[in-house]
Homo-oligomer: A and B are copies of this chain.
Amino acid sequence: MASETEEALDPRVVRTRRDVVRATGELLVEDGWDAVTHAAVARRAGYAKATVYAHWPTRLDLVEAAVELICDEADHPAATGDLRADLRAALADFADDLTHGHLDRLLAGVVEHANEGDVVARLRTRLYETGTAGMRAVLAAHVARRDVEPALALLTGSVLVLVTFEGRRVDAAVLDDLVERVLASTTPAGSADG
């Protein structure tokens, strides 16, 4: 028999999982957490409702699988080695995910449903770390270790707030200003006091 972790031998199961999880992700991103219903997902994916229930008994199972897929598929601009250029690119990418990728709604969903168990808390961490992985990598490569966390919080937080709550369009000038302000309080990596 196949191993427990790779038991999806039947091509029907593979197809179903792929199509349904993809449809769930689209629904989650476009219409939000509450739109993820077995019936809605089945309709969108082109499968019967009972089939969806058979694979993912609860709504949370569906959301979990979709978030996993979204995070796995996420890709970020490659680093060039130039600290400021890479930071601006990563920040712009994050801002774009928030607005056009509807990452803001995804994050809002996990925060609002955070009281529904540890699974949701794990999804929150997964989404946040995936969305900020680009920035974290750039910072880790260029600034002192003790500056990485605060700088990351300052950059991601400010962009999140500007885009999501102030409805501001964060153009190159805004991003540049934020980057300069944050870098002013950091020490280069490898420095004596880093």
Show the binding face of A for B, using Cβ within 8 Å.
Answer: 31-34, 104-105, 107-109, 111-115, 121, 124-125, 128, 150, 153-154, 156-162, 164-167, 177-178, 180-182, 184-185
B182:A107 contact, CB within 8 angstroms:
no
Main secondary structure of the interface of A (DSSP, over half): helix
B161:A153 contact, CB within 8 angstroms:
yes
Stoichiometry, as copies per complex, reads 2
B157:A156 contact, CB within 8 angstroms:
yes
Smallest CB–CB gap between A131 and chain B, Å? 9
Which of chain B's residues have a CB closer than 8 A to the CB of A107? 108, 111, 165
- Cα A125 to Cα B33 in complex, Å, equals 22
A157's contact among B160, B177, B180, by CB below 8 Å, is which?
B160
- Cα A167 to Cα B162 in complex, Å, equals 21
